[in-house]
Structure formats: C-alpha cells, structure tokens
Amino acid sequence: MSKTYHIAVIPGDGTGPEVVAEGIKVLHAVAGKAGFKLNLTYFDLGGDRYLKTGEVLPEHAVDELRKFDSIYLGAIGHPDVKPGILEKGILLKLRFELDQYVNLRPVKLYPGIDCPLKDKGPEHIDFVVVRENTEGLYAGAGGVLKKGTPDEVAVQESINTRKGVERCIRFAFEYCRKRKKMNKLTLCGKTNVLTFAFDLWERTFYEVAKEYPDVKVDYAHVDAITMWFVKNPEWFDVIVTDNMFGDIITDLGAMIQGGMGIAAGGNINPQGVSMFEPIGGSAPKYKGQNIINPLAAICAGGMMLEHLGEERAGKAVEQAVIRVTATHLKSLAAGKMGMTTTEVGDLVATYVTEL
Ligand code: IPM
Ligand code: MN
C-alpha cells in the first residue's frame, strides 16, 4: 500500500494562495510519480480572516496542526493590518508553540539565474543557514515604561538558554555532517560586543564540536559575515546563528541566490511537526495578477518532501526547478519572468514527472 502524508496547508495572505497552489500542483505530480499520496487539509488563517472575525489564531488550530505530518505555508502579512499582529500572532506563535527550533535556509544559486555578485556563479554560492528559531530577541522579553512620554524606556532582551542554543548547534553539526559538502560549520555571532549571549554560544559551539571531529569549525562576526557573503560566498558550507542575525543574513543570502522569488525555508522541529514556506512574504501588490514567482514555494515543497523522508522526490523537485531556471525564465522577479505564475508551476510539474 502506498504511503499517505497528511499535510496542513495554510495559503495565508497576498500572493500566498497563488504560490501555494503551484507548489501543491508540483507536489501532487511528484507524489504520483514516486508512489506516495498527499492528503491535504486547508486552514484559513491570515489577514482576511482576522479582519472579518477578529481572530488571529484560534486556540484549537494549534492543537489541530500538531497532528499533521507537516505544514505547508504560503505567506502571512496584510496591508490593512498593523505590522506585528499577524507576524507575531500566527507565524511566530506557530514556530514557538510547535517548538520549531531551527529555521533552515538554503542559499543556492541555480544555473541560469542572474547573480548580483560580479564573477560569482553556481559553483560559488551553495550554503545553508541554520537559524535558531524560538529564542533571542524574538522571545518577546522586555517591556515599556512611561510610554509616550519624554521619559519613555523600551527594553527588548535577547533570551539565550543553554538548552536552546545547544540543540540548535547540535542540529547544525548533524546537518553539516549529513550534507557532506565542505564539512565546515561556521558560527556567526558578535562575541566582541554581545559578551553574555555569544559567550554562551561560543562555549557551547566548541564543546559540541568535540563530538564532531570530522567537521571543521570556524567563527565569524555577523557584520563581517555580511561582507564575506558578497566577497567570498564560496567560503561557506553551513552557518549557525541566533534568531535575529539569522533573519538578517538570510535576506542577504536570498539576494545573492537571485532574490525572494527562489528563497525557501523550513521551520524544523526534528521531533515534532515542521513547517515549510517561501521566505519572501505576501507581496500584496502582486496579488491576483498571476505574475508572482512560485519557485520559492515550490522549493519549500521540495524541502518538505526531503524532511518527510522522500529524499528522491525532494531532489526531483529541485532538479525540475533547475531545468526551468536554466532554460525558461527571463528573470526571477514578479512580472518579469516571461511566463505567468501558473505556467511556471505547470512546467515544473511536467518536468518533475519526466525525471
Ligand atoms: C522571516 C520573516 C519573519 C521573521 C517575520 C515576518 C516575523 O522576516 O521569516 O524571516 O522575522 O522571522
Ligand atoms: Mn526575515
């Protein structure tokens, strides 16, 4: 009997539903070919629901989501909703409640894609950022005093626990070993200034490193790493860092791999339910025009398959995407692909069945 995966789908806001539809098209195509099934359950979460009902994330939704094999997410963010409400109320809440403690973000330049870096090609840009996903500045610790007065005080603290730091670093070592590329793990921090938080990170990093003698270790300050991403991206294999730095450096990473049109990520709980998403956001100005690039969502679907253990199917999705970027797309940018959103999805879905 063929295996069935139960997937929760959250199309979300803006262009989320459009790109998710193409991702699902490709997932069904590859599933048919590889001999497994996908059972999809859609969840109506996001800005429209909030504006209609006042509900951000109903209590029962998190418990229902826990029961799935994986979650496939489009985008969260609505122009008519004050920034922070949906992001914190849905996206971050799910990451925290489901304890998805790693945000995994591959940065890979595919053939045929324009790279903004001079003299760099696919052979130079292929690394993965392991971003801690439940602590740091995102934990929401801190507060405000005397708000709106000249004496206002705002404190936002970075929470770093030994347990949280260690499990993230351990994941990065394991991932690096399994990836078998350069066997090199770089810790990205700021040990020269953030001497409490990154002292904990650094000590933990070198302690755990003793258990992985086959993995070479390196350290870079976060400001320097933004420099190296531009100058020498080929130095990197796997990078591990905290939540805030990871957020920032992966946007830079997305740009050097060709832009948000292709950048995907996974929110991973190795013991629980993980969630895969294109990282580009809801892009509301392109909504409903059939011009948004669905490749990031399609790649997120491929990552989801690999995570579920369907490694060959996941790789097939990537290969099909590469065939499209190498031979068909004029650009990765919305409205400039030379094809519509649905045409790109159709093409990847066709190629994936030919592999
Ligand atoms: C990301 C996004 C989120 C983050 C926002 C939308 C809360 O920028 O996934 O990188 O900061 O983590
Ligand atoms: Mn971000």
CATH number for the domain spanning 188: value is: 3.40.718.10
Question: Domain of 152?
Answer: 115-257
Percent of the chain clearing pLDDT 70 (strictly above): 100
215 within a domain of the structure (yes/no): yes
Q: How far is the CA of 246 from the centre of ligand 2 (A)?
A: 8
262 within a domain of the structure (yes/no): no
Q: Are residues 221 and 161 part of one domain? A: yes
Catalytic residue at 80? no
Q: Are residues 107 and 79 part of one domain? A: yes
As residues whose CB is below 5 A from the ion ligand 2, the structure lists: 247
Q: Are residues 127 and 88 part of one domain? A: no
Q: Are residues 122 and 103 part of one domain? A: no
71 within a domain of the structure (yes/no): yes
User: In whole angstroms, what is the distance from residue 229 CA to residue 355 CA?
Assistant: 33
How many domains in the chain? 2
Q: Which of 207, 226, 257 is the endpoint of a domain?
A: 257
Residue 279 Cβ inside 6 Å of ligand 1? The answer reads yes
Q: How far is the CA of 149 from the centre of ligand 2 (A)?
A: 31
264 within a domain of the structure (yes/no): no
Q: Are residues 49 and 170 part of one domain? A: no
Span 255-267, pLDDT tens digits:
999 999 999 999 9
Q: What local confidence, expressed as pLDDT, does residue 59 receive? A: 85
Identify the nearest ligand to the CA of 251 by its number. Answer: 2
Q: Are residues 296 and 236 part of one domain? A: no
How many whole angstroms from its chain centre is CA 64? Answer: 22
Q: What local confidence, expressed as pLDDT, does residue 259 receive? A: 95
Q: Are residues 250 and 119 part of one domain? A: yes
Residue 247 Cβ inside 6 Å of ligand 1? The answer reads yes
How are the residues of the chain apportioned to helix, strand and coil, as percentages rounded to the nearest 5? 45, 25, 35
User: In whole angstroms, what is the distance from residue 210 CA to residue 173 CA?
Assistant: 11
- Counting as low any pLDDT under 70, the low residues of the chain are 1
